[in-house]
Amino acid sequence: MSEPASPTEPIFQPLAINGPLVRQILVRFLQNEVRKVGFEKVVLGLSGGVDSSLVATLAAEALGPSNVRALIMPYRGSDPKSRRDALQVAGQLGIDYLEVDISPQIDAYFSRFADADQKRRGNKMARERMSILYDQSWAWRALVLGTSNKTELLLGYGTIYGDLASAINPLGDLYKTQVWQLADVVGVPTDIVKKAPSADLWAGQTDEVELGFQYRVVDQLLYHLIDRRYTVAEVEQLGFQRAFIEDVLRRVRDNQYKRRLPVIAKLSSRTIDRDFRYPRDWGH
Amino acid sequence: MNPQQLQVGLAQMDCTLGDRQANLERHQRWVEKARQAGVQLLVFPELSLTGYFLKDLVPEIAITLEGPQMKEILGLSKDLDLVVSAVIEEPDHRYFNASLYLSNGELAHLHRKVYLPTYGMFDEQRYLAPGDRFRSFKTPFGRAGILICEDIWHLSSAYILSLEGVDLIICPSASPGRGVTTDERLGTAESYNLVCRTYAQFLTTFFLYCNRVGYEDGANFWGGSMVIAPNGDIVAQEEDADEALVTATLELGEVRRQRLANPLLRDERVELTINELRRVWHERTRKPY
């Protein structure tokens, strides 16, 4: 596949979406799934990236800005632009926000493990933020919104029980290229939509450098493999390199555990989630 | 009441998953609303008394035809005819996804869903037993037949009802929306429009499609309930996924007129079809392995 001029464009046609329709489905999804279980409010981590900015925008539209609390949780190594972007989005939406600098608690912990590598530190930060969100969830009687998209979930590009943890997730069935389109439709600042995606766990980190491929390319591959069930031979004929296909398939397979509850050793005749199966919206 | 006209209503509503009492109260409110609107036949969506993605709730939420809940449900049909949907437990403890035609406080017909989708996001056969027949029945407004959601995705279902001479096919549905493209509507909405209109036109019958709205475990029900005339025209529809009472006045003489203009049913070669199907079946089953 040739290198695209822009990371967000052009849009691969099968992944092009009717933005207003998706917006309506997701806004109603948030209203329905939040309110019917007895909540009015939500909390989410607002990083200043496109995913969380989009979720914040949808939540503000669905529940009203006063029912949305954004947690801005920088670490001292985070890019200052991320914080500025998060503040811009919170200000633009008129939602409630709270800043919690996670540096003291992260540094206190790693003072005992000075040799910890970047990935370990990054995972710890993601879980620290999750812990804060769930504490705020209790304190504010609000559900935690997830912001992981379909690309990240399939590739396992997230921290289990960290940023992957949430009560409900409006973006989990949208590929990254679709997130960009929807963000544009709902009015997320263009600067945020166009900037290089980053987990911002260390200085200069970008998703696409770390992953080794571009979202708009991998989304096309995932669309064919997952949504359309193309075989490896068929996607190879489309022009995807064999090594790239195998790398992506390996990531999808190796990260399956992140998308499931912990494995339970089966003993009884009705084991939770195996033969004890109830809908999550049981009674609602 | 003009015997040549029928005022129909489709209760495009949300349900509470796994709460029969809450859903019964919803039905009472919709029946009252429809009664005030002069509706004579009101159709509710698939599994309207229970919600759709029930999983292990199926045996817990089921009712029996002889049970006390049935009395309350029958009581809803004192002033107007109803199609309501529930999980029915048979005396042998098989559970069916069923639709009931109620008239004057009595059960006039029961259809057990034949085609239970068990693929993709669906898992009905894990929990439910399949029905074994398609039968039409007489209503005060003509001959009718019921097909539940997936039943209409099998051509033979509607074909059989058509050969029984139905004037009206009623389809309660709980169809989750999916297939987002740049199109104006979801892929499922486009497909159902095509299928329902095709049946109405090919079989020259009225077609009532009543779908749900709301969300269950993140799946959205897309609404789109519609009333279709025997020439395939949509005469009333709620395209959005909003709760709505969709009403229309059916000119019952339209079936006769359409079958004179377009005598597809008259020309249908039933015996040829039976012979050819028998031949195909023999050829398929004669194979050594």
Hey, are the CB atoms on B182 and A278 less than 8 Å from each other? no
Closest-CA distance, A272 to chain B, in angstroms, reads: 12
Contacts of A22 (CB under 8 A, 6+ apart): A174, A178, A182, A185, B180
Contacts of B241 in chain A (CB under 8 A): 24-25, 28
* Interchain CB distance below 8 Å, A276 and B217: no
C-alpha distances in angstroms, A129 versus A71, A93, A160? 9, 22, 12
Q: State the sign of the Cα–Cα–Cα–Cα dihedral A253, A255, A261, A265.
A: positive
Residue A207 burial (10 A CB sphere; 0-12, 13-18, 19+): buried
Q: Do B55 and A168 touch (CB under 8 A)?
A: no
Low-confidence ranges of chain A (pLDDT < 50): 1-5
By the 8 A CB rule, do A11 and A217 touch? no
What's the pLDDT at B288?
Answer: 78
Cross-chain CB nearest to B53 (options A16, A17, A279):
A279
What range defines the domain where residue B114 resides? 5-263
B241–A28 CB contact, under 8 Å: yes
The verdict on residue B169 lying in a domain is yes
Give me the pLDDT at residue B253, please.
Answer: 96
- Give the whole-angstrom CA distance, residue B239 versus residue B180: 16
Residue A177 lies inside a defined structural domain of this protein = yes
Amino acid A258: pLDDT? 96
When divided into structural domains, chain B yields a total of 1
Domain count, chain A: 1
If DSSP codes are grouped into helix, strand and coil, which group holds residue B107? Answer: strand
Q: Give residues with Cβ within 8 angstroms of A249, minimum separation 6.
A: A225, A232
Who among B16, B181, B220 is closest to A284 (CB)?
Answer: B16
Distance from CA of B203 to the nearest CA of A (A): 33
- Is B215–A32 a contact, with Cβ atoms under 8 angstroms apart? yes
**For testing contact with chain B, the best of A179, A272, A284 (most B CBs within 10 A):** A284
Q: Give CA angle at A260 (A255, A262), nearest 5°.
A: 105
- How many A×B Cβ pairs under 8 Å? 62
What is the side-by-side strand order in the sheet with B5-12? Answer: B106-112, B95-103, B81-89, B41-43, B5-12, B244-251
Q: Is residue A5 part of a domain?
A: no
Query: How many whole angstroms separate alpha carbon B202 and alpha carbon B200?
Result: 6
B280 lies in some domain: no
Residues 6+ apart with CB under 8 A from B38: B7
The dihedral sign for the CA sequence B117, B121, B126, B129: negative
CATH number at residue B20: 3.60.110.10
B237 close to B192: Cβ distance less than 8 angstroms: no
> Across the interface, which of A24, A28, A283 has its CB nearest the CB of B18?
A283
Contact state of B217 with A283 under an 8 Å Cβ cutoff? no
Q: Are strands B95-103 and B106-112 parallel, antiparallel or unpaired?
A: antiparallel
Q: Which residues are B103's β-sheet partners? A: B106
Q: Could you tell me the CATH number of the domain that includes residue A32?
A: 3.40.50.620
The chain A residue lying nearest B61, using CA atoms, is: A283
Matching residue, tokens 């003489």: B253
Model pLDDT, residue A283: 87
How far apart are alpha carbons A136 and B100 in whole angstroms? 48
> What CA–CA distance (Å, rounded) separates B175 from B153?
12
Rounded Cα distance, B25 and B31, in Å: 10
| Residue of chain B whose Cα is closest to the Cα of A228 | B179
**What's the CA gap between B168 and B152, in Å, rounded?**
14
User: A interface mutation test: which of B118, B186, B216 has the most A CBs within 10 A?
Assistant: B216
Strand partners, B207: B169, B228
Which residues lie closer than 8 Å to A182 by C-beta, 6 or more apart? A17, A19, A22, A23, A26, A54, A174
Q: Please say whether the beta carbons of B144 and B169 come within 8 A.
A: yes
In chain A, the residue whose alpha carbon lies closest to the alpha carbon of B184 is A18
Question: What was the pLDDT predicted at A66?
Answer: 98
Q: Which domain holds residue A132?
A: 13-259
CB contact under 8 A, A277 and B181: no
Tokens of A193: 């939509």
In chain A the first and final C-alpha atoms are separated, in Å, by 47
Residue A10, preceding bond cis, omega within 30 degrees?
Answer: yes
Chain B interface with A: residues with Cβ < 8 Å = 16-19, 53-57, 177, 180-186, 214-218, 220, 241
pLDDT value, residue A6: 61
Which residue in B17, B184, B214 is closest to A282 by CB distance? Answer: B17
Tell me, yes or no, whether A30 lies in a domain: yes
Q: Looking at CA atoms only, how far is residue A63 from chain B in angstroms?
A: 16
Contact B182 A284 (CB under 8 A): no
Nearest CA in chain B to A18: B182
What residues of B are in contact with residue A280 (Cβ under 8 Å)? 217
Given a contact cutoff of 8 angstroms between Cβ atoms, the answer to whether B206 and B230 are in contact is: yes
C-alpha torsion sign, points A54, A58, A63, A65? positive
Q: Which residues of chain B have pLDDT under 50?
A: none
Token match 């040549």: residue? B4
A190-240 residue pLDDT tens: 999 999 999 887 778 899 998 999 999 999 999 999 999 999 999 999 999
- Please state, in angstroms and rounded to a whole number, the distance separating the CA atoms of residues A154 and A171: 13
Query: Is the residue at A267 inside a domain?
Result: no
| B272 domain residue, yes or no | no
Distance from CA of B218 to the nearest CA of A (A): 7
* A280 occurs within a structural domain: no
Structure tokens at B76: 């809803």
At A93 the pLDDT is: 98
Is position B84 within any domain?
yes
